[in-house]
Amino acid sequence: MDTLPVIAAVDGSDDSLRALDWALDAARRHEATLRMVHVRQYAAWARPDVLIAGPPDADDDPVLDQVRRYLEGRYPEDRADRPETEYLALEGASAALLPELGSTARLLVLGSRGRGGFASLLLGSNGMAAARDAECPVVVVPRPGREVHGETPHEPGTRVVVGLQVDSPDEATLAFAFTEAALRDARLQVVAAYAWPAQTWVAPVDLVPPTIDQAAVENETRTLAEGFLAPHRARHPEVRAEPYVAPGDAAGHLVAASKNADLVVVGRHRRRLLAPARMLGSVTHAVLLHAASPVAVVPPAPPEV
């Protein structure tokens, strides 16, 4: 049995309290411990080795005290469905410490912005660092009221959205999305976009009109998507997974699909020989910045030895 906790990063801001609400619900659904973590940031010029002799005391942390009161108001200790809770105070650089927590968590949840940084930013540095570097899935909860233009067709009701790149599918991302949909009794909308129009260069200034039929490309994309979904459907027969196949930019379709969705699930770039550093990828980066719903960024499965 997986005993890893759901970790909520808190700093006393409204954004982190929204993330705490999401993490609380996730811990309840996963039947996991909820661990609330506050990182006290030291000044950039300070020497961390002389600040404290050991880790801060979680019982003497004003932010965690606030979180205790907030949690008690929402989920009193006598509620049967309240998850087990833990509190942890750390001191250091949040952008470095938060991703490290991913090695001991099943989920790391944080708000899109914290107390620091520039108010105009759509995503804070902590969220970006955690989504890029953590070893576990990272859920970033946006501020309410994000405006999304357009909408993908879907039936009303609880819905999880996942991006599927048919020429490079990520099994870890699909597995996470199916699990979350099952836990939420939700439909799974699988967004599979294909590039169109296809154009071929024959000279520096000349373009040849596409000779490939768009309907054929769309049918092939749908066939590939159905094939990748088949083993996950077998493991989760209770989940109704529906491919949404459309031409154009995958990020745009995923952002449009985020409207009224419970969760959008995207993968993180795999490390490559010539690009060994961890990267989010352009689609994941755009979805984190603009989606109206919480976004889960799933690290790729470790390569088989």
- The DSSP code sequence of 86-108 is EEEEEES-HHHHHHHGGGG-SEE
- The answer, yes or no, to whether the previous bond of 197 is cis (omega within 30 of 0) is yes
Mean pLDDT for 231-247 is 96
Euclidean distance between CA atoms 60 and 95, whole angstroms = 23
Place 275 in a pLDDT band, splitting at 50, 70 and 90.
very low
pLDDT, mean of residues 98-117: 84
Which segments of the chain belong to CATH 3.40.50.620? Answer: 6-141
Q: What is the CATH number of domain 6-141?
A: 3.40.50.620
Residue 94 has what pLDDT?
86
Distance between CA 261 and CA 227 in Å, rounded? 24
Residue 122 has pLDDT above 60, yes or no: no
Q: pLDDT higher for 117 or 123?
A: 123
Which range is least confidently modeled, 57-61, 129-133, 260-264?
Answer: 57-61
Estimate the crossing angle of helix 171-184 against helix 14-30, to 10 degrees: 80
Residues of the chain with CATH 3.40.50.12370: 159-298
For residue 152, the model assigns a pLDDT of 84
Query: Topology of 159-298 in CATH?
Result: Rossmann fold (3.40.50)
- In a 10 Å sphere around its CB, with 0-12 CB exposed, 13-18 middle and 19+ buried, how is residue 43 labelled? exposed
Q: What is the pLDDT of residues 204-225, one digit of tens each?
A: 555 555 567 889 999 999 999 9
Average pLDDT rounded to a whole number, residues 103-110:
95
Work out the average pLDDT over 196-203: 60
pLDDT score of 210:
57
Name the residue among 214, 178, 192 with its Cα closest to residue 283.
Answer: 192
Separation between Cα atoms, residue 108 and residue 35, nearest integer Å: 10
Number of neighbours of residue 198 by Cβ within 10 angstroms: 14
